[in-house]
Amino acid sequence: MRKIMIIGAGGIGSFLIPLLDKTGLYQIHIYDPDIVETKNLTYQNFSKEEVGELKVNAMAKKYTVKANKYPVLTEEQMLGYDLVVCCVDNLDCRRTLYRTKIEWLDLRAQGRNAALVSFLADPEQYDTLLAGPEGSFSCQGDSWDGSTKNVHFMQVAIAGIGAQWIQRWFNKEDVSSFKVVNA
Protein backbone atom coordinates (compact mmCIF):
# COMPACT_ATOMS: atom_id res chain seq x y z
CA MET A 1 0.00 0.00 0.00
CA ARG A 2 1.37 3.42 -0.99
CA LYS A 3 1.66 6.04 1.74
CA ILE A 4 0.46 9.48 0.64
CA MET A 5 0.55 12.78 2.52
CA ILE A 6 -2.12 15.27 1.48
CA ILE A 7 -1.53 18.80 2.71
CA GLY A 8 -4.87 20.60 2.77
CA ALA A 9 -8.40 19.18 3.06
CA GLY A 10 -10.23 22.19 1.61
CA GLY A 11 -11.23 23.08 -1.94
CA ILE A 12 -8.99 20.59 -3.74
CA GLY A 13 -8.12 18.12 -0.98
CA SER A 14 -11.74 17.51 0.05
CA PHE A 15 -12.45 16.20 -3.48
CA LEU A 16 -9.12 14.40 -4.00
CA ILE A 17 -9.38 12.37 -0.77
CA PRO A 18 -12.57 10.45 -1.69
CA LEU A 19 -11.25 9.70 -5.19
CA LEU A 20 -8.07 8.13 -3.83
CA ASP A 21 -9.84 6.45 -0.92
CA LYS A 22 -12.26 4.62 -3.24
CA THR A 23 -9.38 2.73 -4.84
CA GLY A 24 -8.24 1.15 -1.57
CA LEU A 25 -4.65 1.43 -2.85
CA TYR A 26 -3.38 4.16 -0.57
CA GLN A 27 -2.71 4.88 3.06
CA ILE A 28 -3.78 8.53 3.15
CA HIS A 29 -2.50 10.96 5.76
CA ILE A 30 -4.14 14.39 5.64
CA TYR A 31 -2.83 17.53 7.31
CA ASP A 32 -4.91 20.67 7.81
CA PRO A 33 -5.42 22.82 10.92
CA ASP A 34 -8.57 24.53 9.54
CA ILE A 35 -12.16 24.06 10.57
CA VAL A 36 -15.15 23.80 8.26
CA GLU A 37 -16.86 27.17 7.92
CA THR A 38 -20.24 28.00 6.41
CA LYS A 39 -18.52 29.85 3.56
CA ASN A 40 -16.74 26.58 2.59
CA LEU A 41 -19.96 24.67 1.90
CA THR A 42 -20.46 26.15 -1.56
CA TYR A 43 -17.17 24.89 -3.01
CA GLN A 44 -15.72 22.29 -0.63
CA ASN A 45 -16.83 18.71 -0.03
CA PHE A 46 -18.46 19.29 3.37
CA SER A 47 -22.01 19.44 4.75
CA LYS A 48 -23.82 21.81 7.12
CA GLU A 49 -23.49 19.24 9.91
CA GLU A 50 -19.69 19.50 9.70
CA VAL A 51 -19.48 23.28 10.22
CA GLY A 52 -17.23 23.98 13.22
CA GLU A 53 -15.46 20.63 12.94
CA LEU A 54 -11.82 20.22 11.95
CA LYS A 55 -11.68 19.47 8.21
CA VAL A 56 -9.41 16.48 8.78
CA ASN A 57 -11.80 15.01 11.36
CA ALA A 58 -14.77 15.46 9.03
CA MET A 59 -12.83 13.62 6.30
CA ALA A 60 -11.77 10.86 8.72
CA LYS A 61 -15.41 10.17 9.60
CA LYS A 62 -16.25 9.54 5.93
CA TYR A 63 -13.06 8.04 4.52
CA THR A 64 -10.23 5.73 5.53
CA VAL A 65 -7.61 8.35 6.30
CA LYS A 66 -5.29 9.36 9.11
CA ALA A 67 -6.20 12.87 10.26
CA ASN A 68 -3.56 15.33 11.45
CA LYS A 69 -4.65 18.78 12.60
CA TYR A 70 -1.16 20.26 12.33
CA PRO A 71 0.19 22.57 9.63
CA VAL A 72 3.06 21.27 7.53
CA LEU A 73 5.94 23.71 7.93
CA THR A 74 9.13 21.71 7.42
CA GLU A 75 10.69 19.17 5.10
CA GLU A 76 11.12 16.79 8.05
CA GLN A 77 7.32 16.54 8.34
CA MET A 78 7.15 15.42 4.68
CA LEU A 79 9.64 12.58 4.98
CA GLY A 80 8.54 8.93 4.93
CA TYR A 81 5.80 9.21 2.31
CA ASP A 82 5.77 7.71 -1.18
CA LEU A 83 4.22 10.97 -2.44
CA VAL A 84 3.38 14.34 -0.90
CA VAL A 85 0.44 16.17 -2.47
CA CYS A 86 0.04 19.90 -1.87
CA CYS A 87 -3.58 21.07 -2.00
CA VAL A 88 -3.20 24.45 -0.29
CA ASP A 89 -2.99 27.92 -1.78
CA ASN A 90 -0.06 28.97 0.33
CA LEU A 91 3.29 29.88 -1.19
CA ASP A 92 5.26 29.22 2.01
CA CYS A 93 4.17 25.58 2.00
CA ARG A 94 4.94 25.31 -1.72
CA ARG A 95 8.40 26.87 -1.32
CA THR A 96 9.26 24.31 1.33
CA LEU A 97 7.93 21.48 -0.84
CA TYR A 98 9.72 22.59 -4.03
CA ARG A 99 13.07 22.78 -2.22
CA THR A 100 12.92 19.17 -1.01
CA LYS A 101 14.34 16.07 -2.64
CA ILE A 102 11.10 14.15 -2.05
CA GLU A 103 8.57 13.19 -4.72
CA TRP A 104 5.67 15.63 -4.72
CA LEU A 105 2.63 16.87 -6.62
CA ASP A 106 1.26 20.41 -6.34
CA LEU A 107 -2.41 20.91 -7.27
CA ARG A 108 -3.66 24.47 -7.65
CA ALA A 109 -6.96 26.14 -8.50
CA GLN A 110 -7.98 29.76 -8.62
CA GLY A 111 -11.19 30.89 -10.24
CA ARG A 112 -11.40 29.55 -13.78
CA ASN A 113 -7.81 28.25 -13.84
CA ALA A 114 -6.08 25.22 -12.41
CA ALA A 115 -2.58 23.77 -12.54
CA LEU A 116 -0.73 20.58 -11.76
CA VAL A 117 3.01 20.81 -11.07
CA SER A 118 5.14 17.81 -10.11
CA PHE A 119 8.65 17.17 -8.91
CA LEU A 120 9.36 16.17 -12.53
CA ALA A 121 9.01 19.81 -13.69
CA ASP A 122 12.03 21.83 -14.70
CA PRO A 123 13.51 23.40 -11.52
CA GLU A 124 14.40 26.46 -13.63
CA GLN A 125 10.65 27.22 -13.69
CA TYR A 126 10.25 27.11 -9.91
CA ASP A 127 10.94 30.81 -9.34
CA THR A 128 8.13 31.67 -11.75
CA LEU A 129 5.79 29.07 -10.23
CA LEU A 130 6.48 30.33 -6.72
CA ALA A 131 6.04 34.04 -7.51
CA GLY A 132 3.11 35.91 -6.06
CA PRO A 133 1.75 37.58 -2.96
CA GLU A 134 2.19 36.05 0.49
CA GLY A 135 -0.69 34.50 2.38
CA SER A 136 -3.44 32.01 1.67
CA PHE A 137 -6.03 32.43 -1.06
CA SER A 138 -9.34 30.84 -1.95
CA CYS A 139 -9.48 28.50 -4.92
CA GLN A 140 -12.47 30.61 -5.98
CA GLY A 141 -10.26 33.54 -7.01
CA ASP A 142 -10.52 37.23 -6.22
CA SER A 143 -13.53 37.91 -8.44
CA TRP A 144 -15.87 35.44 -6.71
CA ASP A 145 -18.73 37.22 -4.97
CA GLY A 146 -19.51 34.32 -2.61
CA SER A 147 -22.71 33.31 -4.39
CA THR A 148 -23.60 29.86 -5.60
CA LYS A 149 -24.51 31.44 -8.94
CA ASN A 150 -20.88 32.42 -9.58
CA VAL A 151 -19.04 29.54 -7.88
CA HIS A 152 -16.12 28.01 -9.79
CA PHE A 153 -15.43 24.26 -9.99
CA MET A 154 -11.82 24.10 -11.15
CA GLN A 155 -10.83 22.70 -7.73
CA VAL A 156 -12.92 19.63 -8.55
CA ALA A 157 -11.40 19.35 -12.03
CA ILE A 158 -7.80 19.53 -10.77
CA ALA A 159 -8.59 17.01 -7.99
CA GLY A 160 -9.73 14.56 -10.69
CA ILE A 161 -6.69 15.26 -12.86
CA GLY A 162 -4.46 14.88 -9.80
CA ALA A 163 -6.05 11.53 -8.86
CA GLN A 164 -5.46 10.28 -12.41
CA TRP A 165 -1.83 11.52 -12.32
CA ILE A 166 -1.26 9.72 -9.01
CA GLN A 167 -2.72 6.45 -10.34
CA ARG A 168 -0.64 6.58 -13.53
CA TRP A 169 2.55 7.65 -11.71
CA PHE A 170 2.34 4.78 -9.22
CA ASN A 171 1.69 2.44 -12.17
CA LYS A 172 4.96 3.72 -13.71
CA GLU A 173 3.14 5.15 -16.73
CA ASP A 174 4.02 8.43 -18.44
CA VAL A 175 2.71 11.50 -16.61
CA SER A 176 2.88 15.23 -17.24
CA SER A 177 5.41 17.20 -15.24
CA PHE A 178 3.29 20.35 -15.53
CA LYS A 179 -0.25 21.04 -16.75
CA VAL A 180 -2.41 24.17 -16.86
CA VAL A 181 -6.19 24.09 -17.37
CA ASN A 182 -8.19 27.19 -18.26
CA ALA A 183 -11.99 27.15 -18.52
- Tally the domains of the chain: 1
Segment 66-104, tens digit of pLDDT: 999 999 999 999 999 999 999 998 888 989 999 999 999
DSSP state of 154: H
Is the whole model's pTM more than 0.95, yes or no?
Answer: no
CATH number of the domain residue 66 falls in: 3.40.50.720
Phi and psi at residue 51, to the nearest 5° = -60, 130
Segment 130-169, tens digit of pLDDT: 766 555 556 666 666 777 777 778 899 999 999 999 999 9
Q: How far apart are CA 106 and CA 97, in angstroms?
A: 9
- Grade residue 128 by pLDDT with cuts at 50, 70 and 90: confident
Give the residue numbers spanning the domain of 55. 2-182
Angular region, 146: left φ>0, alpha ψ -120 to 50, beta rest: left
